[in-house]
Structure formats: structure tokens, C-alpha cells
Amino acid sequence: MKHARFFLSVLIIALIAAMASGTVLERFHGPEYAIEHVYGSWWFVVLWALTALCIVMMLLRRKSWKRPTACALHFSVLLVLLGALLTMLTGEHGEMTLQPGVANNQFTIDKHGENREVPLPFALTLDHFEIQTYPGTHAPMDFVSYLQITDNGAVTDAKISMNHILKHRHYRFYQDDYDEQGNSVLAVAHDPWGVGFTYAGYMLLFISLLGLFLAPNGQFRRLLQKTSSKAVLLLAFITIGCAIPMQAANKPNTLPKESADKMGQMYVMYKGRVCPMQTLAKDFTTKMCGKARYQGLTPEQVFSGWLFYPEEWKIEMADVIKDDEEKLQLVNMLHSGQFLKMFPHSDSLQNITWYAQNDSLPANIADNESLFIRKQTLLCQEYVAKGDFDALNELFDKTKIYQEKYALGHVQPEPQYRAERLYNKLTVGRWLAIANITLGLICFALALYCVGRGHKLFKPVRIAATLWMTLLCTYLALLFILRWIAGGHIPMAGRFDSMNLLALSICIITLIMTRRYEMALPAGLLMTGFVLLVQMIFGANPPITHLMPVLLSPLLSLHVSVIMMAYALLFFIMLNGISAVLVRLSQPNNIVYLKRLQNISLIMLYPAVALLMAGIVIGAVWANISWGNYWSWDPKEVWALITLLIYAAPLHGSVWKSFRKPMFFHIYCILAFLSVVITYFGVSFLLGGMHSYA
């Protein structure tokens, strides 16, 4: 038993090292090189096979059939590994190009730079291919191929689009690409055995995870019973400081707030979508000033200042834009009119195109439309020069009416429009992140001091801290909902959205854990502060944009939500470990408290590992539906798997007895969090890959 345990440890360490090195090789030599020399190599397959064999031996020696849930959980992992092996040995993945009206009964497999034609037992004929766009824009919403299947003389119609695959005779076809000639490129997957075993493993995995938490005599339920009666009240100390910004004595000229707000209510085509000009103004101001406000001026006022009083603003921000090519380009795009595509025109097919004042207009455009487009901005500048802001406000109102009329209703619905404007007004700067970090540090220090001495802390202070977290949770949830309504999709794609969701997840977990977990409030304040700060460092708020068609799958939303909840729990475990180390340094003999902290970490570790496993599986299913390949050895996938292996180890205290020691457990969990940091940040900014947010 001892030798098997040692052998399994060596194998897992070797797998982690091999996968980590594979991500580095991919960074410098490309994915094909990494797959050929690491992930697809014979020795890597042997490592996994030996690991699976070792797991089977451990299950037999420990008579795991007496614990059905644990046995089913490990057996599901073996099924997934078997499915991966069958996919590698028997699966076929390639692509085929369909020309309109031309039957095709073969696809091409590219292996190591050599192409091989594989026949199909039926033929596909493309009728036509179309790009479906978001209403009123040219931004693609979906790519659709309409085709016929000819099989043994029978002809049936079929349709393939993003996230909607075609299945026929164990072959799966995915919309992959297209060209300017109207040809459609399909990805083809033929993997009846591998996918079947893998999906069976996924189903068994979810069932066994439910059993893990519901089993009355399971380890998780015993931990809950052990710690529920020993929960200690937490001190939270909240100090809210109000910083009154110093107003500059001489501000550059801009529109009055009312006029600037009227300007922000007009529509504009920006980043491939029709949105309020307020969104463009906010994004422009954030990029120019590093925040959405400047010296107490609203984004619309800053934007209008650059538009109507450019020379004053160039002097005002000379130090900011000096030698900054990006900001100089933004200013040039604004003054050349490239930003202000605010005049819709419909062609004979009622396709809407949005034009700027200086754009080339269609030859058949009506004279009144052409005149308004050419003269509107000049008329605005004339009213500004005269100081006639009442007339300017009236012109802004008329322009919005013009936009709604000539866009033929292809503007934002009123609820979506209002949601986006409210969202733009509600977002804040770095002060919220800094306030959370400061309050978290104060609470963290006081909690360690008081809880370690067994004191019950002031109830009003605890209530105040909980109220702060509740308000923060409500605020983040409101931002999430408003972005959802405004963008027309669940906001979970991209680093800003994922960080916002992570902060919201932490708030929810904090409020759930407050009564049971001593460090919940300070840990929650600290982590939300750091997450919000990172979000701001990423570049404040990016504009709300349409998603790529492949990202519209509901599985993506579920995948990101589950993964973010797992990361939030792992962060709490890391902070719990830090508090245990500090307690050990200040109170070396307080073993009972260290053990209780370990039990609390274990209570969080079970759902964290389960959520991480579930998130990886959901992501794999989404990838299989979208691309025909549930695992591509992308660096983000690899490091998520590495993180899973690292955090699964402490749950096997009966196998590795060192994890029963509180201090070893806590120090391990502190160091283990480095894998989470690499998974989220390291991959995005250093290793790259298709999951990179950089």
C-alpha cells in the first residue's frame, strides 16, 4: 500500500510537470509542436495509463466498493480517461469545403502537415450560405449553411449554424468558416466510441458529485456536523471615508451638463452595435483620462469638450496625450468624424447602414437626408459658438427622432436603451476597490486578534459589515443584470465580465459563510477589493459589445459561473491558510483553533473541487458542441486540469496522511493557490491560447 501511494504521487507530479512544460512549449513553438512532443506522445499516454492503473489498484486494496459514492466518482474519472484514449486511437477530425450546388462526399484530415482524404458514406450539397447580423448593424450574429444530405438515394434538408451541429451516421458537422465566394467550410468529427465513453463518464461524475454532498455518512456531512456547533462570531470594523475631490480653478470649456446629457441620449453606431452616444463618450473619456470622469465633469461633457472645444482640451491634457499614439489616434478619429456614425440610411432591401458626416453617401439617397447628414454637425458647432444651448438641445432631440425614423426601428428597444444608460451612470472608479481592501485589512487584523482570544465581538459592528457586503452584492448584481439587458446576452465572456462575476460570487459566498466562518467578512472584503482593483487595472469598463456567434451558447454562461464560484472558494481557503499561519506564529499552542480552521477549509474545498470538475466538464461539452473536440490541450484547459489535480490531493487525507496535519494542510493550500493565479492571469497574459483575455 505504501509503495502504491508513493508510485501514485510520483505519477501525478510527473503529469503536472509534463502538462506545465507543454504549455510553455506551446508558447514558444506553437500548439502543433506541443501536441506532437508532449500531449500526443507515447510517454504521456503511458503516464496517464499508469495513473489509471494505480487508481484501480488503490480502489481494490481499500475495498472502495463499500463506499459507493467515492467508488463511482473515481470510476467516472477512469471512464473519461478511457474515452480520451479511444478518441485518440479511433477518432477522426478534419474539414470539408462545400460549394453551392456541388455535392461533396469526402473530408480532409491534416496530420503532421500531410493531408489525407477520407470518404463519407453519404454526400452533402450546399444550397446557400448566409451571415445573419444583429438588427440594424453589420455585426455577425450567426453563420448558417443550408444544405441537403444525399444518402442511398434519399435527400433530406439540413441546416448547420454556430452551436447547432448536424449529426448523421455518427458523423458530426460544425460551422467552421466561409469565404467570399459563398463557400462554406465545415469541421467534421467522427468519434462514436470516444465521445460515448467520455459522456458516460461525465454523467456518472455529476451523479457521484451529488452523492458526495448528500450522503448522510459521507466525509462532507461529518465535517459540517463537527464545525456547526463551534462557529465563532466575527468582528467587522467598518470605516467609510469620504474624499472630496479638489476642483480645478480653471476648467476647459465644455457643454452644460443638460446639453451634454441630451447629446449622450442620441444613438451612434459604435463597436458594431447601435448604442447611446453616452457609451461612446464614457469609453472615450476612460481611455483618455484613465477614468470615466475628469475634474467632476461627466463623460458626455468631456467628450463634447473634445468635440467642440478641441484646442482648449489639447492644452488641458497636453501632458496626457503627449507621445501617446493611441490617444492621439482617438482624438483624430473624433475630429475626422469616424467616431460619429450616427445617421442611418436604408437601401431598397431595408438593410440599414450608419454614416458619419464625412462618409461617402449612396448616390440614390434623398436630398433631405443628405442635407441633414452634411449639415447637422456644422449646425451644432454654430449653436455652440453662439452659446445658444436651448437651440442645441432642440437639435439633439430632433436628431434622435430622425435616427429612430430612418433606422426603421432597428435601434435599441426602450428597456435595453434605458438599462445601458443607467449602467453607464452607476459604474464607479477605483475608490470602491480601495475601500474594500482597506476595510478588509482592518477586519482581518481585528478578527485574528479577537477570535484568537475567544472574545465575542460587537454585534452592531458585525451587522454593519454584513450590511456593507449586502449592499455591495446588490450593486454588483444590479450591474450584472443591467449589462445583461443592455448587451442582450449573459455577460460572462471577456475579462471584465468574468471579474465582475467573480466579485459577485465572492459576495454571495461571504454572506452565506458569515455565520459559520470566522474570517468570511474580512476575506470577502479583501478579495472583492482585489478583484475590483484588477478589473479597473484591466482598463476600467470596455464597451458593451455583441458576442461572437460561438459565445452565445448558454453552456458558456454556465461554464464561467461554475468556474468563478470555484475560484472564489479557493481564494477563501488560501486566506484561511494565511490566518492559520498567523495564529500559529502568535499562539503556537492553539492547536484546536488550527484544526477548526482546517475543517472549515475542507468544508469549502469539497464544493470548490466539485465546481472546478463540473466547470471543466461543462466547458468540454460546450467545446464539443461548438468545435467537435471536447479537449484541445489549450493552456487554459491544461492549467485548469493541473489546478484540479493539485486541489484534489488534500481531499485524500486517508491516502496521503500528511494532509491530516493542520499546518501542512494550510501551507499546501496557500501554495496551491499559485496554480489558480497561473490559470487565470498567467495563461491570459503570458502563455496565450484561445482562452486568453489579453
pLDDT in tens, 467-487: 888 998 999 899 889 888 887
Structure confidence at residue 138 (pLDDT):
62
Residue 309 reports pLDDT greater than 70 = yes
Three-state DSSP at 196 gives: helix
Largest Cα span, the chain:
90
Residue 224 lies in a domain: no
> Residue 514: pLDDT band by 50, 70, 90 thresholds?
confident
**What mean pLDDT, rounded, does the chain reach?**
81
**Domain count of the fold of the chain:** 4
Amino acid at 515: R
How confident is the model over 211-232, as a mean pLDDT?
65
Q: Give the tens place of pLDDT for each residue, 570-615.
A: 888 888 888 888 878 877 777 887 888 888 888 889 888 998 998 8
Rounded CA gap, 515 and 629, in Å? Answer: 44
Residue 512: CB atoms within 10 Å: 11
Structure confidence at residue 286 (pLDDT):
83
Q: Give the tens place of pLDDT for each residue, 387-407.
A: 999 999 999 999 999 998 888
Structure confidence at residue 258 (pLDDT):
93
Residue 671 reports pLDDT greater than 90 = yes
Structure confidence at residue 364 (pLDDT):
83
Residue 88 lies in a domain: no
Over pLDDT 70: what percentage of the chain? 84
Residue 327 reports pLDDT greater than 90 = no
Based on the fold, state whether residues 407 and 417 are members of the same structural domain.
no
Residue ending a domain, choose from 389, 411, 433: 411
How confident is the model over 68-92, as a mean pLDDT?
88
201 exposed, middle or buried (CB, 10 Å; 0-12, 13-18, 19+)? buried
How confident is the model over 335-348, as a mean pLDDT?
82
Rounded CA gap, 258 and 662, in Å? Answer: 62
Residue ending a domain, choose from 411, 434, 469: 411
Based on the fold, state whether residues 466 and 349 are members of the same structural domain.
no
Measured torsion, CA atoms of residues 687, 688, 690, 692, in degrees rounded to the nearest 10: 110
Residue 132 lies in a domain: yes
Based on the fold, state whether residues 393 and 275 are members of the same structural domain.
yes
Residue 445 lies in a domain: yes
Q: Give the tens place of pLDDT for each residue, 246-258.
A: 333 467 889 999 9
Structure confidence at residue 536 (pLDDT):
67
Dig out the grid coordinates for 585 from the structure.
506564529
Range of the domain at 343: 257-411
Structure confidence at residue 296 (pLDDT):
82
Dig out the grid coordinates for 132 from the structure.
445573419
Based on the fold, state whether residues 391 and 285 are members of the same structural domain.
yes
> Residue 227: pLDDT band by 50, 70, 90 thresholds?
low
Rounded CA gap, 342 and 274, in Å? Answer: 9
Q: Which helix (H) or strand (E) holds 625?
A: helix 591-627
Dig out the grid coordinates for 292 from the structure.
470615466
Q: Give the tens place of pLDDT for each residue, 522-559.
A: 777 877 877 777 666 554 444 444 555 555 566 776 77
Based on the fold, state whether residues 342 and 486 are members of the same structural domain.
no
Residue 610 lies in a domain: yes
Based on the fold, state whether residues 298 and 350 are members of the same structural domain.
yes
Rounded CA gap, 597 and 231, in Å? Answer: 10
Q: Give the tens place of pLDDT for each residue, 111-122.
A: 766 888 999 999
Residue 292: CB atoms within 10 Å: 21
Rounded CA gap, 565 and 521, in Å? Answer: 17
> Residue 459: pLDDT band by 50, 70, 90 thresholds?
low
Beta strand extents in 347-428 (DSSP E only): 352-355
How confident is the model over 668-686, as a mean pLDDT?
85
CA angle 240/233/466 to nearest 5° reads 35
Structure confidence at residue 359 (pLDDT):
84
Based on the fold, state whether residues 505 and 583 are members of the same structural domain.
no
Residue 225 lies in a domain: no
CB 493 within 8 A of CB 550: no
How confident is the model over 227-231, as a mean pLDDT?
43
Phi, psi (deg, nearest 5) at residue 287: -70, -35
Phi, psi (deg, nearest 5) at residue 267: -90, 155
CB 51 within 8 A of CB 12: yes
Based on the fold, state whether residues 347 and 469 are members of the same structural domain.
no
Residue ending a domain, choose from 522, 547, 572: 547
Residue 82 lies in a domain: no
Residue 83 lies in a domain: no
Based on the fold, state whether residues 531 and 641 are members of the same structural domain.
no
Structure confidence at residue 20 (pLDDT):
92
Higher-confidence position of 691 and 186? 186
Based on the fold, state whether residues 364 and 277 are members of the same structural domain.
yes
Based on the fold, state whether residues 270 and 387 are members of the same structural domain.
yes
Residue 222 reports pLDDT greater than 70 = yes
Based on the fold, state whether residues 560 and 623 are members of the same structural domain.
yes
